[in-house]
Amino acid sequence: MRKLIMWNIITLDGFFEGEQPWDLSFHNIIWGDELEKISIEQLQNADYLVFGRSTYEGMAGYWPQETGEIADLMNTIPKLVASRSLGDVEWQNSTLLDDDIAAELRRLKSAPGKDLYVFGSADLSETLIEENLFDEYRIGISPVILGKGRPLFGNVSLPRHLRLTATQPLQTGGVVLRYTP
């Protein structure tokens, strides 16, 4: 059985994006050999990447031109895109899901195989949190207090109690936290 895993990098004060879309400069602060290794391991253990529209558009605009192991994995792993506004998706191995994303993810989770990862995609993540679909939350904390921006968990309706299962401090000053419901 597959797991649905959220992977996000946020600031110490909880923002996954600055005031402007794709303001992710705080990612560079914690990027290094350790986070690269984590990224490669996650991608090697993924059957699918799951994106909302905005994250898909940003990723599709970035990764096809990049090279290296992470780019190769990002470009070849099948991608599911949750959107009611996109007409089609052109990034290699992408499939548009404009119907019930929760039902499709439940179906995929029940099948054998590697895990499914949601990167970024705050709006989609809020929906999946409400549907109790995440099996694990992996959050990289960048040691930055941004003060304003877009919070990762801005519109979750009910408290969610999580259990810390692992911590990994990074030499860059960040930390990766793993939680399960």
The domain spanning residue 147 has which CATH number? 3.40.430.10
Domain limits at 11?
Answer: 4-180
pLDDT for 120 equals: 87
Compute the residue count for the chain. 181
Per-residue pLDDT at 172 exceeds 90: yes
Per-residue pLDDT at 98 exceeds 80: no
CA-based nearest residue to 82, from 64, 103, 63, 100:
100
Residue at token pair 């109790």? 132
What is the number of domains present in the chain?
1
Which stretches of 110-157 are DSSP H helices?
122-130
Q: Measuring CA to CA, how many Å separate 91 from each of 46, 59, 60, 75, 94?
A: 17, 9, 6, 8, 6
pLDDT per position as a tens digit, 117-143: 999 898 899 999 999 999 999 999 999
Highest averaged pLDDT of the listed ranges 18-22, 67-71, 87-91: 67-71
Q: Which residues contact 114 (CB under 8 A, 6 or more apart)?
A: 2, 45, 46, 47
pLDDT for 160 equals: 85
Per-residue pLDDT at 156 exceeds 90: no
Tokens in use for 133?
Answer: 């679909």
pTM metric for this prediction: 0.94
